[in-house]
Amino acid sequence: MKTDIKELIKKQNLVIAGPCSVETNGQLLRTAFELKETGKVDILRAGIWKPRTNPGHFEGIGTKGLAWLLDVKKQTGLPTAVEVATAKHVEDALSFETDVLWIGARTSVNPFSVQEIAEALKGTDTTVLIKNPVNADLKLWIGAIERLQKVGINSIGLIHRGFTSYGSSEYRNEPIWQIPIEMKRLFPDIPLICDPSHICGKRDTLLSVAQKSIDLAYNGLMIESHYDPSIALTDKEQQVSTIELVNLLNSIKWKNSSSNEDNFKLNLEKLRLEIDTIDQKILSLLSDRMKIAKNIGEIKKQNNVTVLQSNRWNDILESTINKAKNLNLNDEFVKSYMEAIHIESIRIQNVVE
């Protein structure tokens, strides 16, 4: 029976796995059969065209690899997924019955490229996954969704693969979790998948990132896997062997999106009501604070004094962070919170008539 890709992509705890790049027919066959035998992989991913940062590196086997991928699909029954970056890629991938296409981070950052892909997909019934743009731009990610929807593509998923950052980091690409969380809020019906391979860039931190995504109610994972990562032509440090993949998946504490247990519902509702009450108090206090900020702005204007008082702000910030430590509140959270309040206070004082 043919797999319903549109329903499959919505599956909770979806697992997409496969090599970073197709290297040889034998490598693809061996990896695919090993993944099939685990019984844990839903879709086989494989890179056919590989955009490399520097020229001279392996840039993928090209279109001939699609024929190998089609043969593997027929032999294993695994649906297939490949990355596309141009209209020609789309045409070639669909001509070899590729089930799922994904738009990579280097492509989703460019509206012209996304539009070209969207036009190539017009009139098809294809399932498309969109990786976040390389830079942390929420609107670009949203724009990619809208461009596909405008040409009639309705089976869409999102892939969080992290964002490029400058300087040293424990991650290859910073996760910046608040961006995919906001995407999930804006598009609750679109599946969100985590790609810990590209976030981490190395095997030893995959579990922690994968687990966090599951804790945040992501729909599933995309993980790069090779029958022998040590000989991989691309991204060997972040690919896992089949055994390592199974161990990783078995180590994850998979979560349900909800529960029908009465005690769960009652306890959760009670705590949520408490939060709602506290939030209302916070809003009222913030309103009172901004009224005082307006009064301060009026006094400053009457006395021809600048709105910004850097010494006073530094004292407030330092004092608040010190107090927050005794309340077990995170320094960065408190700093961000206070900075938002300060910006609004400055705005209010600047518009005093």
Does the residue 257 lie in any domain?
no
In the chain, the largest separation of any two C-alpha atoms, in whole Å, equals: 82
As a whole number of angstroms, the distance between CA 146 and CA 171 comes to: 30
Which ranges constitute the DSSP H helices of the chain? 5-8, 25-38, 64-76, 87-95, 105-108, 111-121, 138-150, 178-186, 196-200, 206-215, 242-251, 262-302, 310-326, 331-350
Same-domain check for residues 207 and 276: no
Pick from 251, 271, 305: which residue ends a domain? Answer: 251
CB atoms under 10 Å from CB of 105, counted, come to 24
CA atoms within 13 A on the CB side of 65: 25
pLDDT at 349: 93
pLDDT in tens, the chain (353 residues): 678 999 999 999 999 999 999 999 999 999 999 999 999 999 999 999 977 666 767 778 999 999 999 999 999 999 999 999 999 999 999 999 999 999 999 999 999 999 999 999 999 999 999 999 999 999 999 999 999 999 999 999 999 999 998 877 899 999 999 999 999 999 999 999 999 999 999 999 999 999 999 999 999 999 999 999 999 999 999 999 999 999 999 999 998 877 888 898 899 899 999 999 999 999 999 999 999 999 999 999 999 999 989 999 999 999 999 999 999 999 999 999 999 999 999 999 998 87
Six-digit token string for 119: 């036009």
In the chain the first and final C-alpha atoms are separated, in Å, by 71
Same-domain check for residues 46 and 194: yes
pLDDT at 273: 93
Same-domain check for residues 268 and 246: no
Does the residue 271 lie in any domain?
yes
Does the residue 256 lie in any domain?
no
Does the residue 109 lie in any domain?
yes
pLDDT at 1: 61
Same-domain check for residues 205 and 275: no
Same-domain check for residues 277 and 327: yes
Which ranges constitute the DSSP H helices of 39-129? 64-76, 87-95, 105-108, 111-121
Element (H, E) at 63: none
Pick from 251, 281, 310: which residue ends a domain? Answer: 251
Six-digit token string for 143: 């724009």
At 82, which CATH number? 3.20.20.70
Six-digit token string for 223: 């993980």
Pick from 251, 285, 318: which residue ends a domain? Answer: 251
Same-domain check for residues 327 and 279: yes
Question: pTM of the prediction?
Answer: 0.85
pLDDT at 52: 65
Does the residue 21 lie in any domain?
yes
Does the residue 182 lie in any domain?
yes
pLDDT at 353: 72
Same-domain check for residues 240 and 218: yes
Same-domain check for residues 244 and 270: no
Same-domain check for residues 283 and 245: no
As a whole number of angstroms, the distance between CA 8 and CA 15 comes to: 10
Look at residues 151, 141, 73, 78 and name the one whose alpha carbon lies nearest to residue 119: 151
CA distances from 190 to 157, 180, 213, 243 (A): 6, 12, 15, 31
As a whole number of angstroms, the distance between CA 82 and CA 68 comes to: 12
Number of domains in the chain: 2
Same-domain check for residues 230 and 274: no
Six-digit token string for 65: 């690899």
CA distances from 149 to 99, 119, 122, 139, 278 (A): 18, 11, 10, 15, 39
Domain hosting 42: range is 5-251
CA distances from 325 to 38, 206, 208, 328 (A): 47, 31, 26, 5
At 330, which CATH number? 1.20.59.10
Same-domain check for residues 247 and 266: no
Same-domain check for residues 114 and 157: yes
Strand partners, 193: 159, 220
Does the residue 330 lie in any domain?
yes
